[in-house]
């Protein structure tokens, strides 16, 4: 059988409220810092996503304007088609 530890202080089994409060406060500060870091990371990702979509939509709009202006220029510069005579007449 195991012998109980007779050299240990009897008050070592008691929890010091001051020490417990300091440890809990330290743990909460660490968690708060971790939460802030995670929130900043999520905010950065959300901002980057919005920026990406804005650039994508702006690029598509610019490409469409460019394509439609080129098509309009080509249509305006096209020579008129010669009149074709009806076959068999």
User: Structural domain boundaries of the chain?
Assistant: 16-76
Q: What is the CA radius of gyration of the chain?
A: 39
- Rounded-to-integer distance, Cα 16 and Cα 75, Å: 88
- The structure tokens listed for 58 are 């702006």
**Structure pTM?**
0.54
- The structure tokens listed for 81 are 């088609």
- The structure tokens listed for 82 are 């010669």
List pLDDT tens digits, range 19-55.
999 999 999 999 999 999 999 999 999 999 999 999 9
Mean pLDDT of the region 3-16: 61
Residue 61's CB is within 10 A of a number of other CB atoms, namely: 10
């Amino acid at each position: 059988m195991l012998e109980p530890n007779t050299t240990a202080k009897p008050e070592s089994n008691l929890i010091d409220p001051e020490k417990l409060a300091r440890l809990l406060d330290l743990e909460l500060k660490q968690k708060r810092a971790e939460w802030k870091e995670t929130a900043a990371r999520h905010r950065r990702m959300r901002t980057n996503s919005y920026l990406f979509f804005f650039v994508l939509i702006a690029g598509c709009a610019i490409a469409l304007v460019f394509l439609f202006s080129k098509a309009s220029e080509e249509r305006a510069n096209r020579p008129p088609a010669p009149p074709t005579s009806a076959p068999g007449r």
